[in-house]
Amino acid sequence: MSKELSLKYGCNPNQTPSRIFMKDGELPIEILNAKPGFINFLDALNSWQLVKELKSATGLPAATSFKHVSPAGAAVGTPLSDTLKKIYFVDDLELSPLACAYAKARGADRMSSYGDFIALSDVCDEQTATLIAREVSDGIIAPGYTDKALEILKSKRKGSYNVVKIDENYTPSPIEHKDVFGITFEQGRNELKISNELLKDVITNNKNIPDDKKRDLVISLITLKYTQSNSVCYVKDGQAIGIGAGQQSRIHCTRLAGNKADIWFLRQHPKVLNLQFKEGIGRPDRDNNIDVYISDDYMDVLADGEWERVFSQKPEPLTREEKRAWLDTLTDVCLGSDAFFPFGDNIERAKRSGVKYIAQPGGSIRDDNVIDTCNKYDIAMAFTGIRLFHH
Active site residues: 67-68, 230, 391
Residue 80 per-residue DSSP state: P
Which H/E stretch holds residue 291?
helix 283-294
* Helical axes 211-225 vs 38-58, angle rounded to 10°: 160
Residue 204 per-residue DSSP state: S
Residue 280 per-residue DSSP state: T
Which H/E stretch holds residue 162?
strand 162-166
Q: HEC profile for 85-113? A: HHHCCCCCCCCCHHHHHHHHHHHCCHHHH
User: For residues 247 and 233, what is the distance between their CA atoms, to the nearest angstrom?
Assistant: 13
User: For residues 179 and 42, what is the distance between their CA atoms, to the nearest angstrom?
Assistant: 15
Backbone angles phi, psi at 2, to 5 degrees: -135, 170
80-84 long-range contacts (CB < 8 A, ≥24 apart) are 80/104, 83/268, 83/273, 84/268
